[in-house]
């Protein structure tokens, strides 16, 4: 008994940690297959012992979020579903009644509220009782109507997701997405909960409706199928479903299984619900699950194979990731021969060795993964040279994992990253230069350093001849490059990619030293440390950058191309926010985004910090009554909480 209880405690800790990072949109620490296996083990132990730990995931619906988005209670609990992996259990569950079988979509549950035909509120599921308010973000979803042909009140629940095709396209455009988000579900969670809905809009989030939560529609539906068809008639995309009976259920599951391999919608199983609305309503719920629906999780198909090689793939951010190459095997109807191992920590945990017998599967029937290593030869060497540039590699601790990196600043992979940073919105803001396009230009030897961007017009014929890059694309790019030449000094300084120097830090420096760009090579660490907000580490990084002749030459060339806008040196007495530190939280309505608000404060001599402390002078939050951690901290410390309107008055705007 003691051993079983100890194992239960261990499983509760492991599963809660896995669920926490999953619901917060971070990198998953285990696959769905592994999670379900451990969850089932815990359930069996609880049944055997009659003991359930208070923190057990079998008893808790979800986790509190860590986002700064406003929070609000749901009108009814948003419960998770009981689950099975056996078709026979589904058949027994449906009995003699009719049901609807649909995809269990793998995204983020969202609840939408429409009043008088207009979308007025969107909440995430959150912990099931309280969700995050994401109304502005939801309005950017690709396929939801902003207005519907229904003048009453309507609350619906559905799934926000990013389709596989969009995920692959976004991965090709942005290195940050490629490195941080390993699958569409993670990217969707991070996108839906952004504080800046402009980012959400770029991520192409879709929404599929599951059901009506509440409505004042005078005519009620007797069948769930009619309810979904009505929602479809209002312009919503509903989750793909099939009407089933006990006799047709197994065939429908097989149909969905085949279709999933070709579907563009991420899913991790199916959901079976009763079609009879009145019957469903009368079933009620348990503490955690509704009784009118059950989830069916895919049985992942496993195959044993032999590991032949570990291929080390260098990314654009300097990470060098291991990829397992193994004898081809058939999985879910396709042949696979490679799977990402993600990082050195996972490589070591699996104790991989050439010739090992490994068990592989497709996560969600799509992404090849290693499930276990059955022989554990543990003989895979970590490369000492970068596969791209041949320079020495380094092992680095990053977010709790060991990763392999290439420290060479001139490595091709890092060169792409530097170009991408230079052309980004907060730097030189050159539209039309995705990382894929930059790669093409680098491969054609058109770009060696950032100043070559301003000489691209010399290669007009070569550019127009590129596949997918014609006369119009060339003209648009030339116009964007020309527009970028007129740029504030702080943005140029930030664009240089000096380690640790963000846009806010660059603004602090240029406000104190509004020098010509080439004169910054004479700025000393002592002068920089004298600037409020600049520490020794940042000062040394800045000085080290300008100490390199290669960088100084690049800055001299760059200055010749640009029309740099220099800030006026102000008397501190003329800066109304001089010496004041602000923290910004919650949604903004008067500014386009948080960065714009931050820039205005800094222009008037103020500083913006990320967290509330005794050194904070004001917390900016339109929701003064919010129970957020920042509001609580500000009240504890006696720090004034002001709205945007009050901030604008202080800014005299």
Q: Quick: pLDDT tens for 337-369.
A: 998 888 898 899 899 999 999 998 876 556 788
Distance CA 288, CA 280 (A): 16
Residue partners of 103: CB distance under 8 A and separation at least 6:
239, 240, 241, 256, 260, 263, 265, 267, 269, 270, 271
Q: Which pLDDT tens digit goes with each residue over 294-314?
A: 998 876 678 899 999 999 987
Which tokens sit at 637?
Answer: 């410390």
Q: Which pLDDT tens digit goes with each residue over 390-448?
A: 889 999 887 667 889 888 877 877 788 788 889 988 899 998 888 888 888 887 888 88
Q: Which pLDDT tens digit goes with each residue over 455-481?
A: 999 998 888 888 778 888 899 999 999
Q: Could you tell me the end-to-end alpha-carbon distance of the chain, in angstroms, rounded to an integer? A: 69
The predicted model gives 107-117 an average pLDDT of: 92
Distances (CA, A) of 365 to 119, 333, 361: 35, 10, 8
Question: What is the DSSP code string of 10-39?
Answer: HHHHHHHHHHHHHHTT---SS-HHHHHHHH
Percentage of the chain with pLDDT > 70? 89
Distance CA 619, CA 40 (A): 46
Backbone φ and ψ of 161, nearest 5° = -150, 165
Q: Which of 37, 83, 104, 607 is catalytic?
A: 104
Distance CA 20, CA 189 (A): 13
325 DSSP β-pair partners: 309, 338
Backbone φ and ψ of 453, nearest 5° = -60, -30
Instruction: State the virtual CA torsion across 444, 445, 448, 450 in degrees, nearest 10.
Output: -40
Distance CA 362, CA 336 (A): 9
Q: Is-catalytic flag, 104? A: yes
Which tokens sit at 372?
Answer: 């276990």
pLDDT at 20 over 80: no
pLDDT at 587 over 80: no
> What is the per-residue pLDDT for 66?
37
Q: How big is the CA angle at 611 (ends 610 and 617), to the nearest 5 degrees?
A: 100
pLDDT higher at 101 or 595: 101
Q: What is the pTM of this model?
A: 0.47
Which tokens sit at 301?
Answer: 């198909």
């Amino acid at each position: 008994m003691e051993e079983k209880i100890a194992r239960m405690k261990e499983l509760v800790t492991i599963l809660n940690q896995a669920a926490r990072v999953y619901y917060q949109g971070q990198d998953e620490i285990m696959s769905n297959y592994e999670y379900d296996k451990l969850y089932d083990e815990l359930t069996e132990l609880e049944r055997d012992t009659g003991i359930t730990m208070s923190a057990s995931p079998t008893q808790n619906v979800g986790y509190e979020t860590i986002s700064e988005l406003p929070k609000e209670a749901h009108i009814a609990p948003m419960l998770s579903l009981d689950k099975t992996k056996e078709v026979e259990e589904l058949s027994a569950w449906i009995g003699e009644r009719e049901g609807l079988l649909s995809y269990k979509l793998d995204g983020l549950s969202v609840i939408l509220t429409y009043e008088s035909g207009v979308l007025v509120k969107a909440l995430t599921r959150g912990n099931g009782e309280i969700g995050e308010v994401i109304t502005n973000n939801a309005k950017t979803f690709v396929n939801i109507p902003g207005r519907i042909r229904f003048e009453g009140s309507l609350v619906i629940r559905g799934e926000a997701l990013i389709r596989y095709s969009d995920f692959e396209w976004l991965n090709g455009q942005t290195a940050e997405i490629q490195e941080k988000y390993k699958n569409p579900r993670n990217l969707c969670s991070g996108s839906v909960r952004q504080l800046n809905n402009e980012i959400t809009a770029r991520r192409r989030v879709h929404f599929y409706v599951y059901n009506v939560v509440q409505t004042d529609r005078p005519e009620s539906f007797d069948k769930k199928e009619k309810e979904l068809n009505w929602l479809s008639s209002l312009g919503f995309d509903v989750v793909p479903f099939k009407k089933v009976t006990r006799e047709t259920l197994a065939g429908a599951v097989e149909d969905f299984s085949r279709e999933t391999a070709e579907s563009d919608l991420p899913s991790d199983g199916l959901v079976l619900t009763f079609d009879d609305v009145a019957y469903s309503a009368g079933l009620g719920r348990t503490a955690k699950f509704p009784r009118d629906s059950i989830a069916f999780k895919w049985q992942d198909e496993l195959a044993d194979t032999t590991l032949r090689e570990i291929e080390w793939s260098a990314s654009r951010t300097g990470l060098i990731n291991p990829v397992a190459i193994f004898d081809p095997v058939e999985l879910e109807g396709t042949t696979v021969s490679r799977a990402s191992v993600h990082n050195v920590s996972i490589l070591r945990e699996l104790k991989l060795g050439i010739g090992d017998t490994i068990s592989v599967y497709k996560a969600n029937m799509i992404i090849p993964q290693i499930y276990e290593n059955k022989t554990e030869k543990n003989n895979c060497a970590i490369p000492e040279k970068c596969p791209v540039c041949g320079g020495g590699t380094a092992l680095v601790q990053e977010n709790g994992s060991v990763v392999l990196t290439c420290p060479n600043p001139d490595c091709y992979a890092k060169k792409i990253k530097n170009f991408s940073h230079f052309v980004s919105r907060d730097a030189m803001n050159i539209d039309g230069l995705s990382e894929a396009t930059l790669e093409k230009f680098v491969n054609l030897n058109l770009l060696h350093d950032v100043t070559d961007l301003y000489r691209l017009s010399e290669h007009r014929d070569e550019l127009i001849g590129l596949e997918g890059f014609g006369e119009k694309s060339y003209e648009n790019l030339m116009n964007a490059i020309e527009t970028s030449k007129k740029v504030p000094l702080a943005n140029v300084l930030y664009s240089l990619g000096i380690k640790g120097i963000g846009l806010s830090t660059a603004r602090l420096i240029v406000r104190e030293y509004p020098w010509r760009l080439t004169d910054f090579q004479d700025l000393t660490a002592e002068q920089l440390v004298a600037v409020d907000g600049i520490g020794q580490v940042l000062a040394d990084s800045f000085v080290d950058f300008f100490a390199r002749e290669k960088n100084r030459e690049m800055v001299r060339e760059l200055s010749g191309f640009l029309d740099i806008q220099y800030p006026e040196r102000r008397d501190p007495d003329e800066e109304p926010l001089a010496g004041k530190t602000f923290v910004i939280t919650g949604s903004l309505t008067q500014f386009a985004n948080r960065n714009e608000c931050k820039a205005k404060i800094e222009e008037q001599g103020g500083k913006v910090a990320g967290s509330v402390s005794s050194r904070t002078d004001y917390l900016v939050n339109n929701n003064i009554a919010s129970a957020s951690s920042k509001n609580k901290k500000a009240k504890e410390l006696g720090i004034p909480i002001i709205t945007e309107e009050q901030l604008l008055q202080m800014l005299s705007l």
